[in-house]
Structure 1
Amino acid sequence: MFARNFMLFFCLVVVATKNHTIKFKNEVSHRHGKFIPFWNWGIGVVRFKNDECSAADGLSGTCYTKRQCSDIDGIASGGCASNIGVCCVIQRSCGSTSSYNNTYFVSSPSFKQTTGANKCIYTVPRCDSDICQIRIDFLSFSLMQPNAQGVCANDAFNVIGGAYEVPEICGENSGQHLYVNFNGADDIKLVINTNSDSTFGRSWRFKVTQIGCDCPTRAPNGCLQHYTGISGVVQSLNYGTTIAGQGTRQLANTNYGICVAPAAGYCGIQWSQGTASPNTFTISGDATMAPTSLSGDDCTTDFIVVANPYIAGTPANTDRFCGTQLPTLVSYSRPFVLYVVTDGNEANDVANSGFLLSYTQLACRNSICR
């Protein structure tokens, strides 16, 4: 469970009914409080913590009193805590700062497309001293595509102030996510720059979740992305099969890890190329030609890395793979990490899309992992 908002709020509400005055004290616990109602004709105490809740519009909110939600410029959307509280959706736009958990960073308050030049900065301070990390979910992410060399020359999204470098991102990334570690007490800034030379309609809605240092869902260091399923799909940033007006969708200057948390009883992982399109693995070379699988010393510019892989039960004797086709890889090296590396340009590469890969964790054959 993701870390909750730990801020304490206290309010006193006086309600007159007939000849009695009923006082309600709303006490929000620090971390482990439970919803405990108590009523009498004297003083009634209502306790509920600022838990995550599902808003009426499908977004995530935080359970507050109606007054608290109004005080922080939130949007009350449905009830929570047996309808004593409201599910408060917190939404912020350019120039805002918010330490509230589960805040949405949007392109505009009305979530309309924006055009022209803009430098949009959203600042995220830690909401508590034991917060170590944020997760950024790109519910919507639509910026201009990179240029023919894979560089975000027109529009760009950057993360500033985190403990580790995050690659510059542009294009279409809806559905992707990132984990960013705080660098001590420094704030994390999410920055979007757009170019004035284009009327392209940009839009974004990012959900920012703060994660405690002791939270079991915290991503390990070095993991820009982190998955926890027994099986699933991963894709490179700005992956897509439609390439119009530029030479690539693959982003330049990236170096990051995609991690899968090993489940109990699982000792290996299988990585395989997606079947939705013939272009689900085009990392280097000419994607318009016949598919070619390359590995080892042939992969020096753009490639993926899988530790100690097997191909059809035989050691591959290399950990680097590139080209325009990927053989199915099996690895028993834990933790399960797929590293992604691209250089500064797409020279000698044509129409590369990046990758869309399926992963499946493999059950242990014996009580001891290989």
Structure 2
Amino acid sequence: MSLRHLNQDFCRKIIFVTEKLFDTCELPHVFVRKYVIALVVILGLIGSSLNLDFTSEDKLSRDGKAFSLFQVVKFQNGPCQSATRNGTCYTVTLGCGETTTDNCTYLSRTPDPGLNDCQYTICKASNNVCRIRFDFMAFDLASPVLGLTTTVATDAAISTNGGAIGDCLADKFSITSPGNVAPPQICGFNTGQHMIVDASEKCHVASFNLERTSSTYDIKVTQYLCGDEMAGPDGCLQYFVGNTGTVASFNFPTQASIVPPETTHLSNQCYTMCFRQEQGKCAICYQAVDVAGQGSFGLSKTVTATVTGENNNDCFMDYLMIPGALRDSGVVANNRMFVVGNIPDGRDFNNRICGRFFHLASIRANRVDNTESICTSQRPFQITFKTDDTELTLAAVNMPEMNEQSGSPGGITGFNLNWALQDC
């Protein structure tokens, strides 16, 4: 083989390696452009010094097509990583009113007094997309109408605002899902939360209607192909993987060390949270996060004037539903049961849980704290959260059975739970 042929082959190998390097899609976009320019200059110098003729027949590949640098070097839109973003090789931050079909997009806003309403249209990247996930990397909107948990019997104000408590009036976020069940409207603090919708053929519109100029958000939108296990089952608004984690209602102060008395769950919520069954795991247990202040569970009224947890038929306004939920009937008081591998053998079955404590005791007098873990072996593992459009505020006295703001913890709080899969 001649020197000329050897060097032409060498050039082809350089370009082949370059193609493979770029196909990994791990280089910053600016660096890629600079690399291409440098490569073109180098190949030009090589061709000049070696008197290579890239217009001769030697440039033809075996299939008869002309060999071209810019036909070989291609930039695939595969996953990329950077210091602050990960998405396609060209990170897309969608602007208000814009539409995207990219498989990874960011919806972002910094405080802007001149731009309050914003809509983003998210369309399927292909016909094979079945689920679209919205990760709230940052999400801080105006709070809903807040209640105030109190033990002061003379506080008349707490009996006049029940119809508005939990409503998103100042700021609102919503996602359409044509042909499917749309997620509930939310507001307030939701950093670290997420939503997943069943992909629609008619696209999805993510809408922000904002009054507070300081409201901010940064949302990552990821599209999942049909059959991708990370997308979660159809109909699950949230999906959790791994062996342990936390799950909370929207607008719960999950990053606070103290849950304040004005902590308020959102109204008109109805959605399901799902948990993947990992290998070797046969049950899942939940327990209220141990935190100061209000505590991390409070939904609806109580049956009597005593602040207690409630179950089943006593839960019809706001509640959590855990299919096949059971507790260990032999639990020792103040002994937190959140232990991986421990599946209770008790038979106090209940599906609905509400009231002021996360509890399943058959005797109401025993439902007075959050020390218990509630487990289920019924699969698929899931929880449904339901709230109505109002909070009960019928009396301005310390009567938890008539006012969800009376007594502590209050029935307006919401929930924040630890969860752990249990060994078979």
Mark the CA change 1:142 to 1:290 in structure 2 (over 3 Å): closer, same or farther.
farther
Q: Where is the helix percentage greater, Structure 1 or Structure 2?
A: 2
Match of 2:375 among 318, 330, 351: 330
CA distance in 2, matches of 1:316, 1:142: 40
Q: Where do residues 108-119 of structure 1 align in structure 2 (5 Å cutoff)?
A: 112-115=110-113, 118-119=116-117
Does 1:15 pair with 2:3?
no
TM-score (norm 2): 0.65
Give 1 or 2 for the bigger CA radius of gyration.
Answer: 2
Report how far residue 95 of structure 1 moved.
1.2
Q: Where is the strand percentage greater, Structure 1 or Structure 2?
A: 1
Does 1:346 pair with 2:391?
yes
Match of 1:182 among 180, 199, 210: 199
Residue deviations 1:97-143, cap 9 Å, x none? 11112210012xxxx21347732100001111111111000011111
TM-score (norm 1): 0.74
Does 1:62 pair with 2:100?
no
Answer whether contact 1:116 1:194 (CA < 8 A) is retained: no
Report how far residue 264 of structure 1 moved.
1.5
Match of 1:52 in 2: 79
Match of 2:346 among 306, 314, 325: 314
Answer whether contact 1:159 1:188 (CA < 8 A) is retained: yes
CA distance in 2, matches of 1:316, 1:222: 29
SS of alignment partner, residue 20 of structure 1: helix
Q: Where do residues 210-289 of structure 1 align in structure 2 (5 Å cutoff)?
A: 210-240=223-253, 242-243=259-260, 248-277=263-292, 278-285=294-301
Report how far residue 90 of structure 1 moved.
1.1
Match of 2:14 in 1: none
Report how far residue 273 of structure 1 moved.
0.9
Match of 1:140 among 138, 141, 161: 138
CA distance in 1, matches of 2:349, 2:259: 34
Answer whether contact 2:327 2:349 (CA < 8 A) is retained: no
SS of alignment partner, residue 297 of structure 1: helix
State the one-letter code of the partner of 1:92.
L
Q: How many residues align?
A: 299
CA distance in 1, matches of 2:85, 2:115: 29
CA distance in 1, matches of 2:85, 2:306: 44
CA distance in 2, matches of 1:59, 1:208: 12
Report how far residue 360 of structure 1 moved.
0.7
Report how far residue 55 of structure 1 moved.
1.3
Does 1:303 pair with 2:305?
no
Higher relative contact order (CA 8 A, sep 6+): 2
CA distance in 1, matches of 2:116, 2:249: 26
Report how far residue 355 of structure 1 moved.
0.7
Mark the CA change 1:116 to 1:194 in structure 2 (over 3 Å): closer, same or farther.
farther
Answer whether contact 1:308 1:316 (CA < 8 A) is retained: no
State the one-letter code of the partner of 1:265.
G
Aligned structure 1 segments of 4 or more residues deviating by more than 6 angstroms? 11-14
Where structure 1 has 5 or more consecutive residues not aligned to the other structure, the ranges are 6-10, 23-41, 64-87, 365-370
State the one-letter code of the partner of 1:167.
P
Q: Where do residues 145-160 of structure 1 align in structure 2 (5 Å cutoff)?
A: 145-148=143-146, 149-160=165-176
Match of 1:191 among 193, 203, 207: 207
CA distance in 2, matches of 1:137, 1:291: 36
SS of alignment partner, residue 326 of structure 2: strand
Residue deviations 1:214-255, cap 9 Å, x none? 2121211121000011111111111126557xx652000011
CA distance in 2, matches of 1:320, 1:355: 14
Where structure 2 has 5 or more consecutive residues not aligned to the other structure, the ranges are 1-24, 26-32, 53-66, 147-164, 329-344, 360-372, 393-402
Residue deviations 1:155-179, cap 9 Å, x none? 1101113421210100000110010
Residue deviations 1:67-102, cap 9 Å, x none? xxxxxxxxxxxxxxxxxxxxx321113111111122
SS of alignment partner, residue 91 of structure 2: strand
Match of 1:102 among 92, 104, 126: 104
Match of 1:164 among 181, 186, 200: 181
CA distance in 1, matches of 2:40, 2:115: 52
CA distance in 2, matches of 1:233, 1:339: 15
CA distance in 1, matches of 2:75, 2:98: 28
CA distance in 1, matches of 2:378, 2:46: 72
Answer whether contact 1:308 1:317 (CA < 8 A) is retained: yes
Match of 2:416 in 1: 356
**Percent identity of paired positions between Structure 1 and Structure 2:** 29
